[in-house]
A = this chain, B = another copy of it.
């Protein structure tokens, strides 16, 4: 049974605040272990990787080489159900088309006094993509991370994936191949992150690491941050559905459960102005829960973190939604545009009853790597921008320098920076 809140309750504000700050993730402190692993890989390189793979993945590089061969990739592509391959290609094409629009344009210009200013974007030289093993090994996530990197023009994309006894999910290899990733190593965990950040005899280091992973991988990414760039550290998934009375409760229940089945820490929230709909959705959730393959996970998530919030007016859902800042926000209402412009904080918005969030997970074209745990208040989903960086350019001639010099010298002096003042003044034979 999920939490039930009503705006009409006297202590609603207090209860909503408590709900908002409930922690959904127990983060084990693995920092010391991870630090040791990273230090070991920096020190011993491939030898350390070989040892960890033997220990954690029952994998001997003397028998199965660390790098996946082109033949293995081709074989995976052949072995996967053609319907799935087609679906992956369909998704990749849509993702590519949408992300191509995100490529930022250079802006090089001269201002009114002839100072040349500019922003120039270049792709990151090399990016590492971590793909988890086991059940969290999603081919769709390979596309969502690799396609934007390729669109950005990243010349080298390296994938690492733990391979228990050497085996990699062939659909993951197929997705990698479709996304154009050719450099793949069967390593995982903190040791894979260390290898990407610092390099080994076999693996050249990269400049940035993206992709989801377990607590060890997340801790390792935090520790190597600075040496390389990293993407966000994603928490459990979440969906907020804002719904009016004119909904089929079964549709909404399915949407709530699509989040809940991801993880026991996932969160599904319904906000509605109709308590009857709320109760009907709750009942539908209970019914559908029985039919799911991941019923246990979904049941725990809905029981521990699920919520139905009844508001007086649909417009009252907006301030709540902006505080929740959900990763996914569905607007299942007759007039979604009346709400859309009032949403400030959300990773992605799914507009109208015929846009289930799941479309965005796979084939909408937009990215499914989105800010969780209220971080949509200050951050964005993965995009081409995560794979490029901007260099600013400044260009003065003697005349422009003459015009800007006095203010620069004044400010340098006021900050007590003699050499700063001198560096400008000396070019104009002024007093520094």
Scan residues 334-375 of chain A and give those whose CB is less than 8 A from a CB of chain B.
336, 340, 343-367, 370-371, 373, 375
Which of B340, B373, B392 sits near A347, CB closer than 8 Å?
Answer: B392
A53 contacts the other chain (Cβ, under 8 Å)? no
CB pair A408 B294 closer than 8 Å: no
Knowing A292-B419, A385-B385, the reply to whether A365 touches B111 (Cβ < 8 A) is yes
* B-facing residues in A255-289 (Cβ within 8 Å): 255, 257-258, 260-262, 288
Question: Is residue A312 within 8 Å, beta carbon to beta carbon, of the partner chain?
Answer: no
A297 → chain B closest CB, angstroms: 10
A361 to B98, CA, bound (A): 37
Q: How far is the CA of A10 from the CA of B420 in the complex (A)?
A: 37
State in angstroms the CA–CA spacing of A336 and B424 once bound together.
19
Listed by A's residue number, 21 A-B pairs whose Cβ atoms lie within 8 Å are A91-B407, A135-B416, A229-B375, A229-B379, A254-B419, A257-B423, A293-B416, A294-B417, A294-B418, A348-B394, A349-B391, A349-B393, A350-B394, A353-B427, A360-B394, A361-B408, A362-B407, A362-B412, A363-B408, A364-B394, A376-B391
5 nearest A-B pairs in the assembled complex, by CB-CB distance: A229-B378, A351-B395, A380-B390, A257-B419, A87-B407
A binding-site residues for B, Cβ under 8 Å = 81, 83-84, 86-88, 90-91, 94, 97-98, 101-102, 104, 107, 109, 111, 115-117, 119, 122, 124-125, 135, 138-140, 171, 207-208, 226, 228-229, 233, 248, 250-251, 254-255, 257-258, 260-262, 288, 291-294, 298, 336, 340, 343-367, 370-371, 373, 375-381, 383, 385, 389-398, 400-401, 404, 406-408, 410-412, 414-424, 426-427, 432
